[in-house]
Chain A
Amino acid sequence: MTIHHVTSSRFKEQSHAALADAVLQGNLTRMRGNFLPRRAKVRDGLPEFDDLRDAGIAIKKHTIAHLDLYLEAFEAAVAATGGTVHWAADAGEARAITLSICQELGARTVTKGKTMVGEEIGINPYLEAHGITPVETDLGEYIIQLADQPPSHIIAPAIHLNRAQVGQIFADHHPHLKGRVMEDVDEMLDDARGVLRQRFLDADVGITGANFLIAETGQTVIVTNEGNGDLTQLLPKAHIVLAGIEKVVPTLEDATTILRVLARSATGQEMSAYTTFSAGAARPGDPDGPGAFHVVLIDNGRSALLGGETEDILRCIRCGSCLNACPVYGKVGGHAYGSNYSGPMGAILTPALAGMAEAHHLPNASSLCGRCEEVCPMRIPIPKMLRHFREEEMKMGLAPAAARRGLKLWAKLASRPALWRRATSLVTSVLGAMGRRRGRFSALPLSGAWTATRDLPAPQGKSFQSQWARRS
């Protein structure tokens, strides 16, 4: 149960570095202005959006309650289409299975569609160490692979870079440019397209992830916009799918319902350009398609979450909404989290899969403002789980002494309603007056350490307790 190359224990240092990086701050400002307005617009265009969320949650809950049965059904359905299912209890097993499939085919190069679980198990460095060259083909993943950086966002891996930086990365790594730094984004795209087209044609094996596994049919599903995941799986001798065990849903109808909220939440599109359902190897007589189809079902700590405080994170469809909505992520970016899973979902998934010892700082990287849960299509109670991890941290004695004292004071106030009311109504009204103009603060008196690194949303109107008192 590990996540490849986690440096979450250095969250503090890493976030300070991020805040001091003026270029990164500019790039993050652009990100914040883009995602959420698009999501809001497309959501307004579908009056059923919230009801579809609830339908999606019910599907996930039902599936997780019967996970063993649906996994067995999926395995049988894959076999019926001529594919093979492999089971991997941890990251090491998943890597070994993938390598041995590649080696049996004598593979030298492997193209890859974007796969977060692939990042989780560290498949690229492992293949490389065994003489196989993995080539990322999603444009964002390709850029960060050249730059030798981890993804900074689960759906927009190169969001932390601007065009000048991308131009420099291409100049450094594409010999045919002879050091020329392109400035035009269209030209960069054409350049990458040309390089990757040849890689697609040369590859021996294609590896993709999966947004869904369909138990009824044995199909694996990817949702993309570029078409790279399709060329990755259609052109080589074999298609390997890496998927967490929680990706299974019962039927095509179930997948469809969740698809209706996925693209809208992720990129603000009604539907991504390519939603692809793959089943088995090419059939006899097919003019194209892979010669073999392997699905690697990966546990790597997921089953341990079942029945526990963080089981609900298994509903996550990796849309990235919570990252886009998070004021902390918006300031420090993805790399500060030191995990392939960043932002609010990463602050749950990283300690859940890699363990608290590695990642106990991450649940503190939140103001518990609740926006993540609000935008999450699967309504995952992230703040509640963050609080759970903070309690764990205290119990395990991992929290720094200053934080323990601060929280003790907070707990004292919180457990004495009268005192709490006096303290918070004062704070609420002062904060409200100060932050009214912009709706958020970048500096507060008496809390320099907090607001030096975070914008605190300004309280809107009266506190919950005073509103509650007026109503009842």
Chain B
Amino acid sequence: MSARETILARVRASRTRPDEAAAKRAVDERLAGHARHLLPARIALDHAGLVALFAEKAGAVDATLETIDDETDVPAAVARYLRGRNLPAEAAIAAHPDLDRLDWQASTMTVARRAPEGADRVGINRPLCAVAETGTLVFASGPQSPATMNFLPETHIVVLRASEIVGGYEDAWDRLRAAGRGQGPALPRTLNLVTGTSRTGDIEQILQLGVHGPKFMHILVVKD
């Protein structure tokens, strides 16, 4: 008997299910149903309330936030932020159409449209959406959003649209499924829920930021 058969046989021997067909149906329905459980009351807000909650929660996990009125102002805002931190105006950038159509050169930014490499200090990425409940960004990997962009560069810059801010994680799953990316080969290889910067407490439980992932996270929320 293969290990697979052995394990399944052991499990089955311990389960007493009066109606096997009904059990199988219940499992299939559960897998297809996506039923939600209890949701925290804190996300029962209108959209403006969710945007404010997202800002508060992201701030609490050491991200900085700036609201931008018009997406054409994004390159200037990025350049300003990097100047403020004394960093060169260079970044690796996700090959995302929303970022491609911006005029980076006009803001003297040098951007490399590719996955980040070891030497890149700044990475710019676009998330699928953001969860207000805990200030969490949701990134779906693919040609337009390298997963390594969320981890390799020390400074993580995120261009988010206000309309992409949702209440709970469940709303993010619905967006993923609505985009046809909820299952099988269409599922993103990596779905990253990122809440603030990289951190550790492994030495004397002293909080330290930027262990392996980014030390700085800057979120530009573009009104739309």
Contact = CB atoms under 8 A, between A and B. Distances in A.
Nearest to B27: A69
A87 B7 contact: yes
Interface in B1-17: 2-4, 6-8, 10-12, 14-17
Interface residues of A, number: 103
A81 B197 CA distance: 29
Given A46-B40, A55-B38, A250-B30, A299 B7 contact: yes
Interface in A243-259: 245, 250-254, 256-257, 259
Interface in A111-144: 137-140, 143
B189 A143 contact: no
B212 A227 contact: yes
B192 A230 contact: yes
Contacts of B23: 66, 69
Interface stretch (A184-192, A203-211, A420-428): A184-192
Nearest to A275: B193
Nearest to A51: B38
| Most chain A beta-carbon contacts within 10 A, residue among B12, B17, B192 | B192
A230 B189 CA distance: 12
B190 interface: yes
A129 B10 CA distance: 32
A52 interface: yes
Contact of A139 (B7, B8, B202): B202
B178 interface: no
A186 B30 CA distance: 48
A204 B115 CA distance: 19
A250 B31 contact: yes
Given A69-B24, A193-B211, A230-B213, A306 B141 contact: no
B205 A156 contact: yes
A82 B196 CA distance: 31
Contact of A289 (B134, B141, B208): B141
Interface in B174-224: 182-185, 187-206, 208, 210-214
B148 A288 contact: yes
A278 B198 contact: no
A143 B198 contact: no
A286 B95 CA distance: 11
B77 to A, nearest CB: 24
A276 B192 contact: yes
B101 interface: no
Contacts of B12: 68
A415 to B, nearest CB: 33
Given A87-B2, A219-B187, A234-B147, A283 B142 contact: yes
Contacts, number: 273
B200 A251 contact: no
B36 interface: yes
Given A245-B7, A253-B35, A288-B115, A185 B193 contact: no
B142 A286 contact: yes
Contacts of A295: none
Contact of A230 (B142, B147, B197, B206): B147
Contacts of A66: 15, 17, 23, 26-27
A144 to B, nearest CB: 10
B15 A65 contact: yes
Interface stretch (A158-166, A352-360, A372-380): A158-166
Given A188-B203, A275-B193, A289-B189, A216 B198 contact: no
A471 to B, nearest CB: 32
Interface in A85-119: 87-89, 93
Interface stretch (A6-14, A71-79, A451-459): A71-79
Contacts of A252: 34, 169-170, 173
Interface stretch (A265-273, A384-392, A431-439, A442-450): A265-273
Contacts of B206: 185
Interface in B43-81: 57, 61
Contacts of B61: 273
Contact of A288 (B141, B198, B199, B201): B141
| Most chain B beta-carbon contacts within 10 A, residue among A166, A196, A286 | A286
B11 A216 contact: no
B208 A216 contact: no
B84 interface: no
B212 A251 contact: no
Interface of A: 27, 30-31, 34, 46-48, 51-52, 55, 59, 62, 65-73, 77, 80-82, 87-89, 93, 137-140, 143, 156-159, 161-163, 166, 185-186, 188-189, 192-193, 196-197, 200-201, 215-219, 225-228, 230-231, 233-235, 245, 250-254, 256-257, 259-260, 267, 269-283, 285-289, 297, 299, 303-304, 306-307
8 contacts: A68-B8, A68-B15, A163-B203, A219-B187, A257-B38, A276-B191, A288-B115, A307-B14
Given A139-B202, A234-B148, 14 more contacts: A34-B205, A59-B37, A163-B203, A166-B203, A219-B187, A225-B199, A225-B200, A234-B147, A234-B151, A252-B173, A273-B194, A274-B195, A275-B192, A280-B189
